[in-house]
Structure 1
């Protein structure tokens, strides 16, 4: 979809101070040298005791709101996404984030679409802001703290390593430092069972207190008798490429125009094939190497990358940034942004 009056007015991020390295995890028997060599992760950030994802999201959200120049009463929507346990069951973390940031009487909703949640929220929030004359701004946040025994950041997935942290951005119909030129999302539910294959239905969350094993579900999926592996890979690769091509077409942008390509902190082996090889993206335009010291921070990676390039790479008016994500289920999203100015907090 091409957007005419949708802007990013502020961006915020929060990363805990504590660092846990891959070498420390290897020494503790939680990771292996082989996985480190293949996946590329060097370290992650670890939330302090009692520091939950919504708390970190609220910190990032307050920073984004302050930078945006919007008053709290201008916000008509808050969207919050996450992957892991938000601190309590039967609770409303989106409303908590709203209370801790902008308050007000607008609705607060959770967006749950795996690792793609934050980019999905950008597209949904954009529709809300531009379609409601009484709404000027929306706050979008993401935050996760991955803890044992529910999730083993070094072992729940054979390829991905999870890091703690949060990010936020403000969508505005009034103006901002960047214009959203286009967004595009595409889904393929035929791949949904990849996230649950071999897992039995449960009556309660976290039954038995056993650590989630995402990789075991993937193995069961790949071993299913009726699965055509080549067909599944073709679908995934095809939709990664199609979503980018479609978003660029809607934005009237060529791939050569991209200065920043901001994607998830996936394993290096996957990024090399599915991003740089498949899409022809120049790795130097990304923040991927920086992200190998953070791990995959829930749904927040592309927005963390956006905040990072603002702070370190001197974006200029006219620069194009592409945010790309995917979430199991499967849904792929791409957003194309054009910098209108260097954000005032980076000048």
Structure 2
């Protein structure tokens, strides 16, 4: 999406629980094989004792407190998640809005699996641009990958899952100073790959009726055995290139611009980054590949927002410098956000 003017990103917050399970502990406890832990490259995964929406509220309060924005200034509360939020038939975004006291805001859930946080930024941007009176859009993500329903270390190939939440405020950059400026957000989808997370499974009547825990390795293996590996490899490479090229074009920035300081891939395992992301990104861009998340693992829907927060917290962008934040999620969908120092 080409933005007619940059939007502001402020209050960029990541709430990560204190308890950690180190890779060494996971190996010693038989939760993951030593060679797999080495390939993943995570030092530790955060393990929460709070429900995901509770963590989202904590991240959101930090975002509001750091900016001085009050709950009644929020026109929109967008919440995105990947995994179970604590109740079966229930609206987490309404809970978050209520807990914050944002009684005038419109709560909305954004579901695009791991790409949900980036998708929420796109939805929020579109709403703000078409309704300038909306005020601020609060965007939160939160996931808790708790056993027995989810195996955070061995539930998937190429990544392990950490608990945590993110929050940010999207707003007009003309009305208040911003932490970062959003210049473009683009998305590319490959829906023919949805079977990677379905496999050969029949449709169930209730959650986890087909399998007693989420087992993405099993569904991916079934998909690949049916000839899906070639389709995924081709679509992944083509989609990553397309979403980056479109984002740069939408933001009016050349791929070889010296102003493009970083490109930030999702918080996937080290081997996955080295094989699937780094070579393709280096072929397209001279920008430094900034790998983050070695101490968080994959944060589900929160990867993109957490990367934005890290760019801000580390003061990594000087005035006039840009970064591309790449996101990806099952389905499959790839998104890219072009941001700069404010």
TM-score normalised according to structure 2 size: 0.92
Give the number of aligned pairs.
334
2:244 matched residue in structure 1: 244
Matched, 1:267 2:269: yes
What residue number does 2:72 align with? 73
Q: Which residue of 2 aligns with 1:319?
A: 321
Query: In structure 2, do the counterparts of structure 1 residues 58 and 263 end up closer, same or farther at CA, with 3 Å as the change threshold?
Result: farther
CA–CA distance in 2 between the matches of 1:203 and 1:222? 25
Gaps of 5+ in 1: 341-347
SS class of match (2:35): helix
Output the CA distance in 2 between the equivalents of 1:287 and 1:233. Answer: 21
| Partner Cα distance (2:328, 2:207) in 1 | 25
Match of 1:57 in 2: 56
Equivalent-residue separation in structure 2 for 1:320 and 1:198 (angstroms): 43
Change (3 A) 1:25 1:218: same
Q: Report if aligned partners of 2:179, 2:312 keep a CA contact under 8 Å in 1.
A: no
Which residue number corresponds to residue 286 of structure 1?
290
Matching of residues 83-232 of structure 1 within 5 Å = 83-173=82-172, 174-175=175-176, 176-207=178-209, 210-224=212-226, 227=227, 229-232=229-232
CA RMSD of aligned residues (A): 1.8
User: What do the CA deviations read for 1:19-58 (whole angstroms, capped 9, x no partner)?
Assistant: 101111111111011101222122101102xx01111111
* Counterpart contact for 1:188–1:329, Cα < 8 Å: yes
Instruction: Indicate if the aligned counterparts of 2:184 and 2:251 stay in contact, CA closer than 8 A.
Output: yes
Question: Residue 96 of structure 2: SS of its match in structure 1?
Answer: helix
Q: Per-residue displacement from partner, 1:43-75 (whole Å, max 9, x unpaired)?
A: 101102xx0111111111111122234332221
| Structure 1 Cα separation of the partners of residues 286 and 147 of structure 2 | 36
TM-score by length of 1: 0.91
List structure 1 segments (4+ residues) > 3 angstroms apart after TM superposition: 281-285
1:83-132 superposed Cα distances (whole Å, 9 cap, x missing partner): 11111111111111112225122211111111100000000111111111
Deviation readout 1:218-246 (Å, 9 max, x if unpaired): 0000111xx35323311111001110011
User: What's the counterpart of residue 233 of structure 1?
Assistant: 233
Is the partner of 1:265 in helix, strand or coil? coil
SS in 2 for 1:60: helix
Gaps of 5+ in 2: none
Deviation (angstroms), 1:300: 1.0
1:208 shift after superposition: 7.3
Paired with 2:253 and 2:231, the residues of 1 have a C-alpha distance of 30
Q: Do the aligned partners of residues 31 and 282 (structure 1) sit closer, same or farther apart at CA in structure 2, a change above 3 Å counting?
A: farther
User: Hey, what does 1:46 align to over in structure 2?
Assistant: 47
